[in-house]
A and B are shown apart, each in its own frame.
Chain A
Amino acid sequence: MAVEGDHLAVEPVQRPQPEVAVLGQLGEAEVALEGALEQGPDRPGLEEDVRARSRCSSDRRSDSTCSDLIQRSSSTGGILPDGPSGGLASVLGVGAIELRGVVKSFGPIRAVDGLDLDVPEGICLGLLGPNGAGKSTTMRLLTGQAIADAGELRVLGHELPRQSKEARALMGVVPQLDNLDIDVTVEDNLAVYARLYRVRDVGAAVDKALDIARLRDRRRDAVEKLSGGMRRRLLLARGLVHEPRLVLLDEPTVGLDPQIRTELWTLIGALKARGTTILMSTHYIEEAERLADEVAVMHEGKVISRGSPSELIATHAGRQTAEVYAPPQRLAELRAEAEAAGLRVRAAGPAIAIVGSERAENGTVPADAVVRAATLEDVFVLLTGEEAE
Chain B
Amino acid sequence: MSSAAEPVPSSQPGAAPPPRTMRRLEPAAIAGVMSRELANFRTYWRGTTFSSVLEPLVYLLAFGLGLGATLVDEVEGVPYIQFVGTGMVATAVIFSSALPAMFGTFVKHRFQNTYEAILAAPVDVDELVTAEMLWIAARSAVYGCVPLIVTFFWGLPPAPGMLLVPLFAFVTALGFAGFGITTAAIVAKIDQFNYVTALFITPLFLVAGTFFPINGLPEFFQVIAQANPLHQLVELVRGGAFGFEWWDLARFAFLVAFAAVTWRIAITRLRARLIQ
Contact = CB atoms under 8 A, between A and B. Distances in A.
B119 to A, nearest CB: 6
Given A145-B276, A195-B28, A207-B14, A179 B119 contact: no
- Report the contact-size class of chain A (Cβ under 8 Å from the partner): 35 or more
B22 interface: yes
A169 B22 contact: yes
Given A184-B43, A204-B14, A179 B32 contact: no
A168 to B, nearest CB: 5
A367 interface: no
A325 interface: no
A166 B276 contact: no
Nearest to A104: B276
A199 B18 contact: no
B117 interface: yes
B129 to A, nearest CB: 15
Interface in A173-214: 173, 175, 177, 179, 181, 183-185, 188-189, 191-201, 204-209
Contact of A197 (B31, B114, B121): B121
A145 B117 contact: no
Contacts of A84: none
Interface string B14-41: 1111111110000011011101100110
Contacts of A198: 7, 16-17, 28, 32, 122
B14 A205 contact: yes
B123 interface: yes
B16 A169 contact: yes
B14 A181 contact: no
Contacts of B118: 196
A155 to B, nearest CB: 11
Nearest to A199: B16
A206 B13 CA distance: 11
Contact of B14 (A24, A179, A243): A243
Given A195-B35, A198-B7, A168 B13 contact: no
Contacts, number: 135
A186 B33 CA distance: 17
A196 B14 contact: no
Nearest to B118: A196
Contacts of B119: 143-145
A170 interface: yes
Nearest to A183: B43
Nearest to A169: B122
Contacts of B31: 195
Is chain B's binding surface mostly helix, strand, loop or mixed?
Answer: loop
- B35, B122, B275: which has the most chain A beta carbons within 10 Å? B122
Contacts of A169: 16, 19, 22, 121-122
A351 interface: no
Nearest to A168: B122
Interface in B135-159: none
A180 B257 CA distance: 36
B192 interface: no
B198 interface: no
Contacts of B122: 165-166, 168-169, 196-198
Contact of B113 (A162, A166, A177): A177
Interface string B207-248: 000000000000000000000000000000000000000000
A135 interface: no
A293 B114 CA distance: 31
Contact of B18 (A23, A162, A171, A181): A23
A120 B114 CA distance: 30
A199 B15 contact: yes
A192 B19 contact: no
B113 A243 contact: no
A341 B226 CA distance: 85
Contacts of A197: 16, 121-122
A188 to B, nearest CB: 4
A185 B275 CA distance: 29
B39 A144 contact: no
Contacts of B9: 200
Contact of A165 (B22, B42, B43, B114): B22
Nearest to B7: A198
A196 B275 contact: no
B114 A179 contact: yes
Interface string A11-42: 00000000000011000000000000000000
B6 to A, nearest CB: 12
A343 interface: no
A195 B32 contact: yes
Nearest to A174: B120
27 contacts: A24-B18, A140-B276, A143-B120, A145-B274, A145-B275, A146-B276, A156-B19, A165-B124, A169-B16, A169-B19, A170-B19, A173-B121, A175-B113, A175-B120, A179-B112, A179-B113, A179-B114, A181-B39, A181-B40, A191-B35, A195-B28, A196-B33, A199-B16, A201-B14, A204-B14, A207-B14, A242-B15
Given A193-B121, A196-B36, A222-B43, 11 more contacts: A24-B19, A145-B276, A147-B276, A169-B121, A173-B120, A193-B117, A195-B28, A195-B32, A196-B32, A197-B122, A242-B16
8 A-B pairs with least C-beta separation: A205-B14, A242-B16, A173-B120, A179-B113, A196-B32, A196-B121, A195-B32, A183-B43
Interface of A: 23-24, 106, 140, 143-147, 156, 158, 162-163, 165-166, 168-171, 173, 175, 177, 179, 181, 183-185, 188-189, 191-201, 204-209, 222, 238, 241-244
